[in-house]
Amino acid sequence: MSHNLQFYIDGAWVDPVVPKVIDVIDPSTEDAFAQISLGSKADVDKAVAAAKRAFATFGFTKPAERLELLRSILSVYNKRADDLAYAVSREMGAPLPFALDSQVGIGRAHLEKIIEVLKDFQFQHAKGTSLVVKEPIGVVGLITPWNWPLNQITCKVGPALAAGCTMVLKPSEIAPLDAVIFAEILDEAGVPAGVFNLVNGDGPTVGEALSSHPDIDMMSFTGSTRAGILVAKAAADTVKRVAQELGGKSANILFPDVDFSVAVPKGVANCFGNSGQSCNAPTRMFVPRERQDEVIGYARAAADSFVVGPADAPNTKLGPVVSQVQYDKIQGLIESGIAEGATLVAGGPGRPADLNRGYYIRPTVFANVTPDMRIAKEEIFGPVLSILPYDSVEEAIEEANNTVYGLAAYIQSADLQTARDAATKMRAGAVHINYPAWDSSIPFGGYKQSGNGREYAEYGLEDFLEMKGILGYEAA
């Protein structure tokens, strides 16, 4: 049976305390295809109480027990991969092959990595006659977004379980069905009752109730900077730890020595991936002013090669964006780029000509963008690239850092030492040199208003641990 209208609390599927439903919209068609229940403070209280009871036992399990549990979760996750991919494709518009290979695949990679990390992780070490111990922080609240839902669920739930924490997850109400399946996976894998709990709902109700709850010891939030600020404010009265992965406006600096015929199309592809709905997307491409016309040609050809269409169409490379709200926001920013004098290179306002229904965005590139324009400052979260010409590399680096965000940066140079030197100057949590492969073992998180704390591998595990010093542990 479907559990879409229920919550997973204390090892069982339960009905909400106060019945209230919301439609789940297929962004490819704008039609509702499912419903979920919206939780209330009462549902959160039940889930937190269950997690608190479970922590009294689970918080003191041995790492070897938690390791076997994670292995069991990974096994069931792999078994349900097709179900997860179909859910993600329908609820957020990801083309089905991309949903399976990338959206589901990235979750698998995080589970595999935390298993690898936990095998050898040291939870204590001697220091003189004292002992330093790393212990689970307790009951954690997890709030995850709609754009890479399984990425964020697994890179929070996996390390939290590895640490010995118990938890309550609130996924995005826009893309919630993959989380329901994930809860089914954890149930089948044998996660003890109360260790993992799922309550669907919106931010102002369930999110606020979690963030302010006195029995939640930590909040781990991924989403917009605006919402992250609200979580931090709600958490402040109970002085709980808050880890945040927020927005971005990442720069991609192309040095004069790179092969522009390769670097520009790769930059466009990285910006447009997941229909531009990635917080670390390289949305600002800095290029030498004297080479901008050349760059424009490559960028236009690259943008025009992206086939936009429904998630289930065989040739679709870019699906829709997730919602009407996102569509309207992106359209407004595209219009602002035109109004503020940027050169429209590809795409533009409106849907592609052959699509009159669905939240489809034309793959859009602007050139002659200046740092004061909205498209250069605001997170667009759609397939829109801004090309900013520079007169010197020093100017490019300065302008690349001239943002309230600091999640990621990208450096392209034929000389590796030049790229390394530039990387040290970037005020960002991750710097990518010459388009490297994604790596689940590298810390992920941001500087400035892109958040605090780090996720992935041992860095994510550390975020869910508290540190205790036991003095006099050994005789002097």
Residues marked active site are found at: 245, 279
Structure tokens at 317: 């490379």
Under 8 Å between Cβ of 185 and 177: no
Helix or strand (DSSP H, E) at 70: helix 63-79
Q: How far is residue 429's CA from residue 443's CA, in Å, rounded to a whole number?
A: 8
Structure tokens at 76: 């069931």
Collapsing DSSP to helix, strand or coil, 464 comes out as coil
Query: Which residue blocks in 121-255 are alpha helix, DSSP H?
Result: 149-163, 177-189, 208-212, 225-236
Report DSSP letters for 337-382, one per residue.
HHHTT-EEEE--SS--TT--SS-----EEEES--TTSHHHHS---S
Return the closest-CA partner of residue 36 out of 62, 61, 59, 8: 8
Q: Where are the beta strands (DSSP E) in 206-342?
A: 218-222, 241-245, 251-254, 284-288
Structure tokens at 260: 């522009």
Return the closest-CA partner of residue 136 out of 221, 211, 61: 61
Q: How far is residue 192's CA from residue 38's CA, in Å, rounded to a whole number?
A: 25
